[in-house]
Amino acid sequence: MEKKTFKNLDLDVFEETLPNGLRLFLCPMPRHEVAAQMTVLFGGSVLEFELNGKDIKVPAGIAHFLEHKMFEKEDGTDPLKVYESTGAYANAFTTPYITAYHFEGGDDFFKNLKNLLDTVHKPYFTDENVLKEKGIITQEKKNTLDEPRSVAYDKSNENLFKNSYFKNSVLGSLKDINSITKEMLYDCYNAFYHPSNMYLTITGGFELDKTLDFIKKYYEDLGLSYQKPPIKISKKEPETVVREKEIIHKNTENKEILISYKVKTPNENKVITDLYFSLLLNLKFSEISDFPDITFNDENIITDVGCNFYKADDYYIINVGITVKEDTEKIINLIDNAINDKNYSEKEFNLIKKVLLSSVVLLTEKVPRTRDSISSDIYLYGNVNYDIYDAYKNITYDKFKEFVSKLDFSNKTITIVEKEI
């Protein structure tokens, strides 16, 4: 094992790569709770890949469908019931980038760990259970079709991207879900659910050496040798959006607004770029920005503004959403003016920087949060960012202003979900 340390945070992580390619990130913390996550580098934006010289295309939604099916076992064991028997909390999720299986609990750690490994390494797909799952996921999809925010998000992605697979919903369409077969699931499982395309993160109160020995023994018994990960195929995406504005009519009393900006990736280190975007959105829309004061007395506004950003191929996508009663144009202009306003003081910058630095320090306080931070670093950057504190600390006001001055927010799509008149 190789010991790595988060600088200025007094937190150690022990890294090891097994012969089968599985990467381990083990972070002991003086807590009773243990949190673990197995991450598979296969998400909703992966719809085409090459394996052993063969080009394979699959329907949108298959990564999410596969996540569901991994909880069904040939012997009838329900992995979630196993966790419940130890008092642990467990779940799974699929994003455009990854599929992740995780648990948090303080008792019967090795029972829970074995259950986690069994969940991802013992597939059982039949025509019958795949058909049954179609009904379950179809209902899940139908529920999102009535949820204004989900509708706005999915439509926004369709209008942002012309070619990129990010245009597809992680759940897929109803047609996509219905087209998935047992054979497709096994194709994806055999390609992506191999240790060489996965990594395991464990944080909290566990014994390091015993845990490593347990994991090694599990994989020795499993007998999987190294397999070269599949090549994910993407498509070149133009800089412009597909559609600049769309209004969708649903049975809703209020109006849901989502503005999505498609920003060409600046030529910067990705870690630093992410920090810059985080600083920017906090400066514009956080609780300590000017925006809540501007909107506080506006009776037309129902919810606080919500925002996030993510990287999609060669672009950064910034989503800014809010719910209003009537007047949409006023708030759209307010948000757009805010995002394009590049005037802010060094005092405001330093205040946001201190807030974000404090959030990094708090990384060492919560076991699940530490696990999540380590896990997200790996799929975002390839490795854990052990210099995160110094990275924030060393960002200067002048460098940040220079970065923001180069951003172009003109490529955007506006989605409004409202009641039909």
Q: Which residues are catalytic?
A: 67
Four-point Cα dihedral 196, 13, 116, 365, nearest 10: -140
Question: What distance in Å separates the CA atoms of residue 137 and residue 196, rounded to the nearest whole number?
Answer: 29
**Residues β-bridged to residue 15:** 2, 25
Helix axis angle, 208-222 relative to 109-121, nearest 10°?
30
**b/e code 401-417 from CB counts within 10 Å (16+ = b):** eebbeebeeebbbbbbb
Contact in structure between 206 and 34 (CB atoms under 8 Å):
yes
Contact in structure between 115 and 109 (CB atoms under 8 Å):
no
**Residues β-bridged to residue 317:** 262, 310
Write out the H or E segment, with its range, that includes residue 214: helix 208-222
Amino acid letter at 34?
V
Burial bucket for residue 358 (CB in 10 Å: 0-12, 13-18, 19+)? exposed
DSSP string, 328-358: HHHHHHHHHHHHH-----HHHHHHHHHHHHH
Which CA distances in Å does 91 have to 61, 73, 101, 150, 356?
18, 16, 6, 21, 28
Side by side, which strands form the sheet with 245-249? 245-249, 412-418, 255-264, 315-324, 306-312
Question: What distance in Å separates the CA atoms of residue 43 and residue 134, rounded to the nearest whole number?
Answer: 19
Nearest residue to 69 via CA among 181, 149, 170, 153:
181
Distance of CA 306 to the CA centre of its chain: 16
Half-sphere exposure of 377 (CA within 13 A, CB side): 19
Contacts of residue 264, Cβ cutoff 8 Å, sequence gap at least 6:
239, 314, 315, 408
Burial bucket for residue 348 (CB in 10 Å: 0-12, 13-18, 19+)? middle
Question: What distance in Å separates the CA atoms of residue 177 and residue 30, rounded to the nearest whole number?
Answer: 44
